[in-house]
A and B are shown apart, each in its own frame.
Chain A
């Protein structure tokens, strides 16, 4: 059943109202349904709260294609990355829900709210022996809950094998974030903290770096147990199927990264109480640099225009961003106002 109707783009209203509107349009007032839409990358994404509803409306260009399924016979696996590249299949599933299936899907409820969670990231740009883990503390009361220690590891150097000092995870606190994610383990060697290499740094320095980044900690480790590494398929086959079926949370990285960029910024914001009033987040000062804005625009433009795979594209952008941050702040030399702008955006 297809329906076509118009919405005011500038005032989309609340999800509740929209949901009511859908039920009204389809004349299914008492049927629970799942609402989804296809985003610009062709992924089928759910609409179930105000935030993703607004996001969906903002992507309408000019049409927003919305899919509605009955909740009781919904196919949850339909949601996710690259779902629309398998369009035929998905559409067949979505449009003919009574289509016979070989095995029944395990029903996992949809998240009620998008929230960044701890995850393995940058799988596609790191060597398979390394793992980059984002421990996302925002919104949880769990302690980070791990300890690090000095140790030594063996490296291959031009002079043969060499024992070099390194930093290792020594203990996980039961019930802590690190343990509950299962992404870090005792004796994993810490290689980087938020994009900065730890080699040559003391245990105290690495401790301070981790605590300074504790609200959004990204640790690159070499897992002590190398048997659980993500085995990557070749690029051509990897683009379809694999990511959704993978058990790892990295299966929906683009959603996360999209949201994180906004979230990360606000997360860093300090709080101000003016005249003993209500606490507010401190806003960013208006940028003085025009050229920088045009630069960011160019970048965004490119990422949408060129033909890279969307998921990896965003990841690459993200990591490029963090690397450039490192360079910018390490570099003592440049002093022009233009350059200072880059720090403001970070």
Chain B
């Protein structure tokens, strides 16, 4: 009957919702997970990165970014830009070729896949006959040369991918005039490299894996020169004038060959093993760059002495007497050199080297003395130490922003001043609406401050908490200190360093007050640091206090890690955030919640044992509260990892099995036709059903009880100035919510500012609420008389928020994993609730108040709750009536780490990790949308063929 009274759809509200909410995944920040290929277009000045999951990402000037995804999700093996075009070709590990174009649409460029093609051999031929190993886009832009495992080079027309069979360069044709004795020893085998002559587009150099190199004349379809290499070939490189080329080999040697019309079968000019005489690893790629002063740059990847340095990932740069072997932190995927693209230039004059390693991008300035690294404006390695938590602060005041930047610039003095060399395309995106900071906490005890205002996530400043503590590792132990005569001249580059000296240093919670510059940071071993921003270096003693959260609880023994040892005496801190107070929880369990009130100068912290309040002005512990249930042995004994149940691990292993079956099936179905695929799918569904019957995963249905484990785990802490005792006087209060569904409220007495140092802060427990459904409390919020969430500390003082309404009655919103409940204050009576889990079977993982503005009018905005559930859905729930507004699927529910990493901003945006190294940025708002908006214009074509040649040549190759 009530149903009839319910207004079905309120059209006004529906329209408003369309103006307020909109879900978009806007941009991926950070470094691509598992990169597998690199390409560069000197013509467009764009760089392309392919990944093992089939994504390709294009980067140019900061803000110029494109992303594409191959449907097959197969590894991208090679990327080649078509000379002088906004087009590129990718080769996947299923031997398919894909043509992508940058097309302009509504004034902005978009990356689109145009064609796909798989080379097919004659019937009955082995798959290796058409397995592509080398790709050469010809400077004529009309054809692609495809080298294969069989030794044949196929020619396909662009953009149709039509095979021009009469132009195929067969290995038989190549071998015709090769001397008998050489030929018998080495058959052609697979094509390792294809290179177009820099001056004469009718000649291409073909290198075969056994060492034979030939110069092929396209006009006459015949070999003009034979170069009889004796070592297994890795790669080839033409010198700029086309008079010489260089080949590099598996044994760590490189060879220079002359090209002239006098000698059709010349002997090598020079053969060198740069890191000999002992056996060396292969040199897989080499550059020979000419300069005005005559001394060339010889740059090659690998070639290290096998026994002593075979495990290094190195690229060596040799310029006259200067030689450095850049030693990378992870495997080098590929690299390219940026050099003069001026067509008439006589010399290469290289300016920078861009290296894609597995975990980071490193750019070396080759023009400045000492070859310093360039600080990349994007593709930051977020995971240089594993991310353990993140914290977002919107709308940073300019003053604080500048101070953080200045602190950061002092850390970056060793970087080159060179402007970012990859600068293609034009960024059309408007300036970011506000200055946003994303803070990431890391396993190694550092906090990184990222400029998250725009499309480029850029590192501003890095804070380390390690100096406060005594750790096993000596901070002065420098891996880079090498003697003068050290050989090979290795130099470590890059920041990726996933190995933490001490896991206890890990950062777990961060809270930054943007108005005061106070920062609170808490870690794995119960350490809580309060810091202040200082523009100068300083040496001072960090005040140290201990908070015994077990208090009078007797007879328990902590079996987890010990607390961190602190450094005695003054410690020198660099400019930036400098700690002045350290509180260590006892037992030293991981800090699970943290709150800072910069106006009251109080910091609250909680662990699995209880919570405490510390007055950082007087440097005095105000109180501690033990939240432990006496039966909760697990919480007492040790770190959380111990409780990972057998059940859970079994469940995970089941999931793994299932996933691997899915993927293996998918692969098999990939090459078949549509009906086959359907059949396979149907079969799979059946199998999956059967599998479920065979191996049932069980779930226990049991009510939660007070005796469950970790009920005392403090999930959330909240400061509020509200009516706790009576409705006439409001007072500061501290609220805490636990895993067992308990909410504690403490009434605080903070002395007025003039007596702040003289009188102690007092606290008294005023309320304790036990939610009967006992689900973990994940959020506590007080709404003022206008049902608006209370402002942040100091927000009103800085005129950035209206003062809260203290006339009307306040309400308390308690968010548990299962329900949203509104209670009245000061007398707690329940007002309304939303039982999310009972209705939908999902649980709240993250919740924040977000302000949504209408895209139609500037003067309307409202506060709602942004909620992420364990199913990866995002729901927007209205305040104060708790009505579900809208729901969007966002993260796969299997992606537990993605869901756990999600942070919402105050204006309806958010970030979550899609891999250890990448944040996906999403927006729920119609008004705040940060996404790449850029255009790539085709630079004017010069008629000079020279340019075309160079750019054609520059396309990089990489072999599997």
Contact = CB atoms under 8 A, between A and B. Distances in A.
Interface stretch (B6-14, B104-112, B429-437, B930-938): B6-14
A279 to B, nearest CB: 7
A190 B699 CA distance: 13
B703 A211 contact: yes
Interface of A is mostly: mixed
Nearest to B725: A275
Contacts of A267: 772
Nearest to B693: A151
Contacts of A339: 5-7
Interface string A205-222: 111111111110100000
Interface residues of B, number: 65
B840 A205 contact: yes
Given A149-B696, A214-B702, A205 B9 contact: no
Given A144-B701, A214-B701, A272-B768, A334 B7 contact: yes
Contacts of A324: 1-3
Interface stretch (A1-9, A123-131, A223-231, A282-290): A282-290
Interface stretch (B44-52, B330-338, B824-832): B824-832
B709 to A, nearest CB: 15
B583 to A, nearest CB: 25
Interface string A299-341: 1000000000000000000001000101111111111101110
Contact of B701 (A207, A215, A284): A207
Interface stretch (B149-157, B526-534, B877-885): B877-885
B275 interface: no
A272 B883 contact: no
A334 B881 CA distance: 10
Contacts of B871: 205
Interface stretch (A110-118, A196-204, A234-242, A251-259): A196-204
Given A149-B696, A150-B696, A324-B2, A211 B689 contact: no
A205 B842 contact: yes
B769 interface: yes
A51 interface: no
Interface in A132-153: 137, 143-152
A345 to B, nearest CB: 10
Interface string B680-693: 00000010010011
A149 B697 contact: yes
Given A214-B703, A275-B766, A282 B693 contact: no
A276 B883 contact: no
B903 to A, nearest CB: 24
A334 B6 contact: yes
Contacts of A214: 701-704
B415 interface: no
B261 interface: no
B837 A209 contact: yes
A149 B698 contact: yes
Nearest to B884: A332
Contact of A270 (B14, B702, B770, B837): B770
Interface of B is mostly: mixed
B823 interface: yes
B767 interface: yes
Interface stretch (A17-25, A34-42, A78-86, A163-171): A163-171
B21 to A, nearest CB: 11
A19 B766 CA distance: 45
A61 to B, nearest CB: 26
B823 A282 contact: yes
A262 to B, nearest CB: 16
Contact of A150 (B1, B697, B885): B697
Given A149-B696, A211-B701, A329 B834 contact: yes
A194 interface: yes
A165 B697 CA distance: 13
Given A149-B698, A285-B824, A208 B839 contact: no
A198 B697 CA distance: 17
Interface residues of A, number: 70
Contacts of B686: 163
A268 B772 contact: yes
B87 to A, nearest CB: 44
A194 B692 contact: no
B834 A165 contact: no
A163 B702 CA distance: 29
Interface in B205-257: none
B767 A165 contact: no
Nearest to A324: B2
B779 to A, nearest CB: 16
Contacts of B6: 327-328, 331, 334, 339
Nearest to A198: B841
Contacts of B697: 149-150, 203
Contacts of B819: 212
B875 to A, nearest CB: 9
B336 to A, nearest CB: 47
B872 to A, nearest CB: 12
Contacts of A152: 689, 692-693
B18 to A, nearest CB: 13
Contact of B832 (A198, A210, A272, A343): A343
A209 B831 CA distance: 23
Contacts of A332: 883-886
Contact of A284 (B725, B829, B884, B893): B829
Contact of A209 (B1, B700, B838): B838
A342 interface: yes
B725 to A, nearest CB: 8
B818 interface: yes
A335 B13 contact: yes
Contacts of A150: 692, 696-697
Contacts of A320: 1
A149 B770 CA distance: 31
B435 to A, nearest CB: 34
Contacts of A202: 841, 893
B591 to A, nearest CB: 26
A32 interface: no
B767 A273 contact: yes
Contact of A340 (B829, B832, B842, B893): B832
Interface in B59-89: none
A280 B862 CA distance: 35
A269 interface: yes
Task: Give the most central of A170, A203, A334: most B CB within 10 Å.
Answer: A334
A126 to B, nearest CB: 20
A196 B692 CA distance: 24
A290 B478 CA distance: 75
A29 B842 CA distance: 61
Interface string B755-769: 000000000011111
B559 interface: no
A267 B884 CA distance: 25
Interface string B194-208: 000000000000000
Contact of A205 (B2, B771, B841): B841
A91 interface: no
Contacts of A270: 769-772, 821, 830
Given A196-B838, A335-B10, A344-B831, 6 more contacts: A198-B841, A201-B841, A205-B840, A208-B870, A214-B701, A330-B884
12 contacts: A148-B699, A163-B689, A196-B839, A205-B871, A207-B701, A208-B837, A270-B772, A276-B768, A282-B829, A285-B829, A333-B883, A339-B6
Interface of A: 137, 143-152, 163, 165, 170-171, 194, 196, 198, 201-215, 217, 267-276, 279, 282-285, 295, 299, 320, 324, 326-336, 338-340, 342-344
Interface of B: 1-3, 5-10, 13-14, 686, 689, 692-693, 696-704, 725, 765-773, 775, 818-819, 821, 823-824, 828-835, 837-843, 870-871, 878, 881-886, 893
Interchain residue pairs A-B with the least CB separation, the first 8 = A205-B841, A214-B703, A212-B837, A149-B696, A207-B699, A332-B884, A273-B768, A285-B831
